[in-house]
Structure 1
Amino acid sequence: MSSRTLPVLLGSGVAAGVLVPALLWADGATRPGYSLWHHGASQLGTGERAWLQTINFVLGGLLLAAFAAGVRRALRSGRGATWGPILLAATAAGLVVAGLVPTDPALGYPPGQPHVVTTAGVVHQVAGFLLFAGLSGAAYVLAGRLGQTSRRWVVYSRLSGTIIIVFAFAAGIAYRLDTLDVWRPAPAGLLEHLSLLAGFCWAAALAVHLLRRHAGGPHTSTPSPAARDTDAHR
C-alpha cells in the first residue's frame, strides 16, 4: 500500500465520524413524528425519509471499513495493531447490515404502525450489538497503544469506550421500561444517540491523530524499540 493511500484510508475515519452522527441528529430533529428523546437511532431507517439513513449507515460502514484498513496499516505491528482494526471492521459490518436490514416499528414510530417483532428486526438488533460492542471494544483495545504517545489518549479512549457501552445498555433498559409502561416517554433515543455520538467522535479524533503522526514521518507510525520491548513483557 502506497504512502499516498494511507491518508485516504485514515481520512475515511474522519468522514465517517462526522457524517453518521450529523445526519442522524439533523434528520431526527426535523422528521415529522420522530423524537430524539424517545425513538432509537435505528428507527430513522424506517418511515418517512428512511432512504436517507439507509445511505448514511451503509456509506458510514464502508468508510469505517476503509478506516480499519488504514489503522492496521498505520500501526503495522505491536499492541492493538491486530484487534483494534478487527473490532473497527466489526463495527463497520454492523453498521452496513443495520442500514440494509431495517428495524421493526416501535414506540409509536413510524406513526400508525403497530409494534411487531420480525426476523429482519432481530437481524438488525444483532447488527446493532456488533456496532456498539465493536466500537467500544476498539476504544479499549487501542487505549494502551495510543497511551505510548500521550496519557490523555488512554483516558479519552477508555472513557469513550465506557460511555458507548454504558449508554447503549441504558438505552435498552429505557426502551424496555417504556414498552412496559413503567416510564413513558423514556429517553431511550437520547441515550442511544449519545452513545453513537461518543463513539464516532472518538473514531474521528483517532483518525486525525493518526493522520498527524503519518504527516510527521514514517518513524512515528511504529513504536520505538523500547516500547516494543515493553509490550513484549506485558
Structure 2
Amino acid sequence: MSITWMLRCGVAAGVLVPVVLWADGATRPGYSLWHHGASQLGTGERAWLQTANFLLGALLLGLFAIGLRRALHAGRGATWGPVLIATAAVGLAVAGLVPTDPALGYPPGQPEGITAAGGVHQAAGLALFTGLSGAAFVLARRLGAAGRAWARYLRASGSLVIIFAFAAGIAYRLDTLGIWRPAPAGLLEHLALLAGFCWIIAVATGLLRHPADMPTEPAKSGV
C-alpha cells in the first residue's frame, strides 16, 4: 500500500469513528449523548455496530501511523509521533473487543459494577486518549516548522483531548455520587474523541495536499 493510501486511512478513521458514534448515539433507544460515555455504545442494543466501528477505526489508524512514519522519513517526531498514534490504535481495538461495564443506567436494566473486563476497557481508553494527545504534542514540534499555525493547532488539540477526557471522568464521578445528575460525562468524552480525530484528519489532509510545504525530512544545517 502506498503512502498516499495510508495517509488517506487517517482521514477515513478521523471521519468514521466520530460520525458512527454520534449517529448511533443519537438514534439508540435509552442512550444519551449528553449523559452516557462513547464506550457504552459497545453494550446493549446494536453493540456490534460500535465493535465494528472501533476495530475498523483501529485498523485505519494503524495504517495511518505507518504512512506517517514513511512520510516523515526521519528526524524529530518521525518515530514517537507514529508510535503514539499506533498506541491509540491498539487502545481503540482493545476497547472494541472488550466492552465496558454497564453504568449510569445504560444498558437499561443491567446491573452496574466494576469487573475485570471493565478495567481492561478503561486501560484501553487511557491508551487511546494518551496516544491521541501525546502524538499531537510530538508532531507540533515537527510540523510546526511548516508554520506556527500548525504548532498552535496541534498543541491546542492535544490539550483539549486531555482536558475533555479528564473532565469527563470528573463528571462521571459526580454523577455516580449523586452530586450532579445528569452530568455531561458523555458529551465531554465525545468531544475528547472529536478533538483527537479532527487533528488526525488535518495532518493527513495537509500531507496529502501540500507535501512540499510540510517538513517531511529533517532540516540540513548549512556550513
Instruction: Give the TM bin, normalised by the shorter chain.
Output: over 0.9
Aligned partner (choices 113, 121, 146) of residue 124 of structure 1: 121
Unaligned runs of 5+ residues in structure 1 are: 230-234
1:35 alignment counterpart: 32
Instruction: Work out the CA distance in 1 between the residues paired with 2:59 and 2:39.
Output: 17
Instruction: Work out the CA distance in 1 between the residues paired with 2:47 and 2:77.
Output: 36
1:163 maps to amino acid: L
1:151 alignment counterpart: 148
SS in structure 1 of the partner of residue 187 of structure 2: helix
2:46 maps to amino acid: R
1:25 equivalenced with 2:57 (yes/no)? no
Contact between 1:9 and 1:66, CA under 8 Å: does it hold in 2? yes
1:6 equivalenced with 2:36 (yes/no)? no
Equivalences, count: 222
- TM (norm. structure 2) is 0.96
RMSD over equivalenced CA pairs, Å: 1.4
- The offset of 1:221, in angstroms, is 3.0
1:232 alignment counterpart: none
- The offset of 1:27, in angstroms, is 0.4
Equivalent residues in 2 for 1:85-234 (5 A)? 85-214=82-211, 216=212, 221-226=216-221
1:83 alignment counterpart: 80
CA shift in 2, pair 1:104/1:32, >3 Å: same
- The offset of 1:89, in angstroms, is 0.3
Which deviations, in whole Å up to 9, do the C-alpha atoms of 1:180-213 show, x marking residues without a partner?
0010000000000000001001101110011123
- The offset of 1:118, in angstroms, is 0.9
Contact between 1:213 and 1:221, CA under 8 Å: does it hold in 2? no
SS in structure 1 of the partner of residue 145 of structure 2: coil
Contact between 2:143 and 2:215, CA under 8 Å: does it hold in 1? no
- The offset of 1:224, in angstroms, is 3.3
Which deviations, in whole Å up to 9, do the C-alpha atoms of 1:45-65 show, x marking residues without a partner?
000000000000000001000
- The offset of 1:220, in angstroms, is 5.9
Instruction: Work out the CA distance in 1 between the residues paired with 2:128 and 2:185.
Output: 17
SS in structure 2 of the partner of residue 221 of structure 1: coil
Which deviations, in whole Å up to 9, do the C-alpha atoms of 1:88-110 show, x marking residues without a partner?
00000000000000000000000
Contact between 2:146 and 2:215, CA under 8 Å: does it hold in 1? no
2:83 maps to amino acid: I
Instruction: Work out the CA distance in 2 between the residues paired with 1:220 and 1:160.
Output: 20
Contact between 2:72 and 2:215, CA under 8 Å: does it hold in 1? no
Instruction: Work out the CA distance in 2 between the residues paired with 1:159 and 1:220.
Output: 20
Instruction: Work out the CA distance in 1 between the residues paired with 2:219 and 2:121.
Output: 43
Moved over 2 A (4+): none
Q: Percent identity?
A: 69
- TM (norm. structure 1) is 0.92
